[in-house]
């Protein structure tokens, strides 16, 4: 492998000059610069990033903790992260945690080992033991940004949409369509994001003078399978809901499926709404009413925030990005 020494010898300069020419060319005389570049070209030299990172004490790599790589919602978020990373000379290490604490910790360990400089956490869970009263990230935590989900108490930099508002708007939309028995299939109970969505749902009901029926609230795990199963349960009740609001599109698609299995029609018998606006939402049958999240932007902003953090100019910012109600045929 050709190293910086070889180039120096070939160009007739010192290794320091080669290094300088490559990192800040303007600090080098034009004539020597040309010699060096010629030597680089001739030798086919490529700087060894392993050595450079070692020396600079920066891996220029970030880990993205994804709860489930199979969940299509995350794809565009990761794409946003990745684009922003590449633009800044960073790489993205993929961390599929399957919601397992052990795997989260293994990936977090990469930061302690200096394999990665920081973390972007897409799920609700943070891989640290958190003391009861902690509200700010302790000094021994690595640079960490949350995207989409967030922690209820610890104030970390985060990129979100206004989940409560979005859920309220969707519920209002359903109410405006004449629904009053609106079931809500939410995600995991312990997720602050899901709590916010529930709050929005509840608020809309109360604002409209409706009562909240505990029996219409269910909790899934964001998969099509649970959307299907929970909807089946709902449809075995004596009193059927007239609308089902699911906290993500995948559960909504499972829900659609369950409703059709009972030979009921969407939206005539039961309206169904989702959340996220993943690609498939437009192509479901019928097309799914949902909340659009700017996923790529969420990812890009998260990466930018992390870069700030790594540059030492970090703060526990919360960035709220705009969402959008997308009304399609599943509710009207």
Interaction site with a copy of itself (CB under 8 A): 46-51, 53-54, 57, 59, 61, 64, 69-70, 72, 75-76, 78-79, 82, 86, 91-94, 96, 103, 106, 109-110, 112-115, 224, 228, 253-254, 256-257, 260, 279-280, 282-285
Of 10, 28, 119, 144, the one binding DNA (CB under 7 A) is 28
Residue closer to a copy of itself by CB (options 38, 49) is: 49
The item of DNA, a copy of itself, none sharing an interface with residue 92, based on CB under 5 to 8 Å by kind, is a copy of itself
CA distance 249 to 226: 12
- Segment near DNA (CB under 7 A); pick from 17-25, 207-215, 220-228, 233-241: 17-25
Residue 91 beta carbon to a copy of itself: minimum distance, rounded to whole angstroms: 5
The SS3 call for residue 130 is coil
Contact 177, 332 (CB under 8 A): yes
| Residue 140: count of CB within 10 angstroms of its CB | 7
Length of the chain: 332
- Segment near DNA (CB under 7 A); pick from 12-20, 162-170, 230-238, 302-310: 12-20
For position 55 contacting DNA by CB under 7 A, the verdict is yes
Which residues fall within 8 angstroms of residue 209, CB to CB, at 6 or more apart?
none
CA distance 24 to 316: 33
Of 9, 37, 43, 47, the one binding DNA (CB under 7 A) is 47
How far, in whole angstroms, is CA 264 from its chain's centroid? 35
Residue 49 beta carbon to DNA: minimum distance, rounded to whole angstroms: 8
Contact 279, 147 (CB under 8 A): no
CA distance 326 to 56: 47
CA distance 36 to 4: 10
Residue closer to DNA by CB (options 11, 196) is: 11
Residue closer to DNA by CB (options 3, 99) is: 3
Question: In the structure encoding, which two tokens stand for residue 19, read together?
Answer: 């290094």
For position 156 contacting DNA by CB under 7 A, the verdict is no
For position 313 contacting DNA by CB under 7 A, the verdict is no
Q: Are strands 158-161 and 318-321 parallel, antiparallel or unpaired?
A: parallel
CA distance 81 to 61: 12
For position 14 contacting DNA by CB under 7 A, the verdict is yes
Footprint on this chain of DNA (rule: CB under 7 A): 1, 3-5, 12-17, 19-20, 22-23, 27-29, 31-33, 47-48, 51-52, 54-57
């Amino acid at each position: 492998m050709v190293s910086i020494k070889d180039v120096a010898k070939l160009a007739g300069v010192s290794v320091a000059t080669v290094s300088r020419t490559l990192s800040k060319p303007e600090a080098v005389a034009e004539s020597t610069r040309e010699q060096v570049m010629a030597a680089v070209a001739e030798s086919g030299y490529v700087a060894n990033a392993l050595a450079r990172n070692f020396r600079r004490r920066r891996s220029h790599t970030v880990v993205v903790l994804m709860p489930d790589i199979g969940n299509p919602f995350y794809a565009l978020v990761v794409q946003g992260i990745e684009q922003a990373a590449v633009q800044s000379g960073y790489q993205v290490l993929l961390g599929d945690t399957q919601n397992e604490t052990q795997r989260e910790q293994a990936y977090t360990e990469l930061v302690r080992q200096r394999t990665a400089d920081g973390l972007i956490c897409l799920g609700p869970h943070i891989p640290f033991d958190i003391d009861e009263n902690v509200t700010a990230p302790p000094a021994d935590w690595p640079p960490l940004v949350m995207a989409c989900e967030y922690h209820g108490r610890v104030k970390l930099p985060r990129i979100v949409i206004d989940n409560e508002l979005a859920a309220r708007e969707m519920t209002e939309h359903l109410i405006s369509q004449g629904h009053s028995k609106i079931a809500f299939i939410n995600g995991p109970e312990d997720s602050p994001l899901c709590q916010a969505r529930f709050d929005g749902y509840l608020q809309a009901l109360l604002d409209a003078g409706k009562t909240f029926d505990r029996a219409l609230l269910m909790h899934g795990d964001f998969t099509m399978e649970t959307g299907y199963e929970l909807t089946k349960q709902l449809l075995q009740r004596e009193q059927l809901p007239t609308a089902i609001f699911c906290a993500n599109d995948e559960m909504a698609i499972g829900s659609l499926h369950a409703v059709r299995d009972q030979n009921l029609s969407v939206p005539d018998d039961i309206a169904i709404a989702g959340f996220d606006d993943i690609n498939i939402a437009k192509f479901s049958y019928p097309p799914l009413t949902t909340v659009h999240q700017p996923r790529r932007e969420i990812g890009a902003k998260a990466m930018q925030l992390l870069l700030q953090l790594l540059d030492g100019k970090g703060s526990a910012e919360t960035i709220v990005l705009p969402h959008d109600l997308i009304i399609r045929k599943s509710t009207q």
